Chains A and B, each alone.
Chain A
């Protein structure tokens, strides 16, 4: 079985908001909405610390961190449980997705989600540019929407947009059920935390804290779809952690994709 998961290295994250922007572009997210947010842990505002500025020789206690937050794709997802019409469901590959035809806009899921990952289209969605962007159809007024792990990309063997476009290489995507996958290796090798672990939601998103990881491998300017078709060689590189492939970035999704089958 495939069970997709994401590792985010908070020691690498520089708070640049590229993941928030590229998500908006890739997924045609309407104005006023974000599926992917970079929260500031520290002061009241974005990019401000807690503590006070050191004066007169004080050591100071300023402290600030970034918390990139989108749908955590929980294995025990409260949003799936509360949906009265089964619009929110967990796919066989672990991705939590919404059937927008079924969603009736009751927003129970938004109340149930402890990560504030979901947004509701109160009005007719507006886009900039007006015709929308990316490869995903616009969602209508009156439904809830959220991060899909870019399932449309994953089904084509591509990593999610936020993973590919993170300039700090802080995001690693892959199959949690495969012990040899890069995500699994990261989770076993580094200190990772799940957000609000005490809620029992068992998120498929893991945050690296403490020691910085080597980051997502990115060794070529080739697109993933332009990689050589030597699947065996690629699989070997993937098993080896694949950081130094001269043929380009290794897609972290398995060659055989498991699409939504609900």
Chain B
């Protein structure tokens, strides 16, 4: 295993052999090596890392030289869709932002945190929700061609009307039905060459009325709500 520590900077075979022998002998090894792997200039106008770039490639698929826009981009899937009506059918972009309550899915099982951050929710702009007959706190069905999840709607004026969000890191057992990753895809984003989980098209509707939500209405042994913590 030790052979894979610095495979690019120290390709010499004997180096690893020596290192391995020392590790076995001493238990720990100090590697006297410069950890800075990249010392050249970046391919930017300043040669430095630039956090914000007006001329950066947009997420607009083929239109990679297009101008930066504050419009919500077309989801990848509407660009690759054969008949081009995916966007009409699923007009909302679905994010799964990282929250302060989690490191990915860790701490989902932390009962103190769950008193404040009780269950997965859908951050939704009140305008978007009302157009769909969704009241604050209603359970809603979020769906697309791939799957669905049922979560509680949380009116949030900080979120754009074209976007909805459920924090990532919830486990399947936390959902009334489904899971946020039932909705996401594995398409690759042109601009970053990585997964584009936020680039997901969905529609939202009120959840069926006969829904069993008892896991969140009856499970608290104290009969108390997150209100006690200043949460919702």
Of residues B113, B159, B230, which shows the largest number of chain A Cβ atoms within 10 Å of its Cβ? B230
What string of 1s and 0s marks CB contacts (under 8 Å) between B129-152 and chain A? Answer: 000000010000000000000000
Say yes or no: is B45 at the interface (Cβ < 8 Å to chain A): no
Kindly list chain A residues whose C-beta atoms are within 8 Å of the C-beta of B160: 53
Q: A64 touching B224 by the CB < 8 A rule?
A: no
Least Cβ–Cβ distance between A167 and chain B, in angstroms: 11
Least Cβ–Cβ distance between B80 and chain A, in angstroms: 29
Least Cβ–Cβ distance between A108 and chain B, in angstroms: 20
Kindly list chain B residues whose C-beta atoms are within 8 Å of the C-beta of A214: none
Mark the stretch among A2-10, A32-40, A177-185, A225-233 that contacts chain B: A32-40
Say yes or no: is B57 at the interface (Cβ < 8 Å to chain A): no
Q: Across the two chains, which residue of chain A brings its CB closest to B163?
A: A53
Say yes or no: is B168 at the interface (Cβ < 8 Å to chain A): no
Q: Across the two chains, which residue of chain A brings its CB closest to B154?
A: A45
Q: A51 touching B157 by the CB < 8 A rule?
A: yes
Say yes or no: is A16 at the interface (Cβ < 8 Å to chain B): yes
Kindly list chain A residues whose C-beta atoms are within 8 Å of the C-beta of B112: 21, 24-25, 128
Least Cβ–Cβ distance between A17 and chain B, in angstroms: 6
Say yes or no: is B232 at the interface (Cβ < 8 Å to chain A): yes
CB<8 Å pairs between A and B, sample of 29: A17-B113, A20-B229, A21-B113, A31-B111, A31-B222, A31-B224, A32-B221, A32-B222, A32-B224, A32-B228, A33-B222, A34-B229, A37-B228, A39-B230, A40-B230, A43-B156, A43-B157, A44-B155, A45-B155, A45-B231, A45-B232, A46-B231, A46-B232, A48-B158, A49-B157, A53-B159, A55-B161, A62-B157, A62-B158
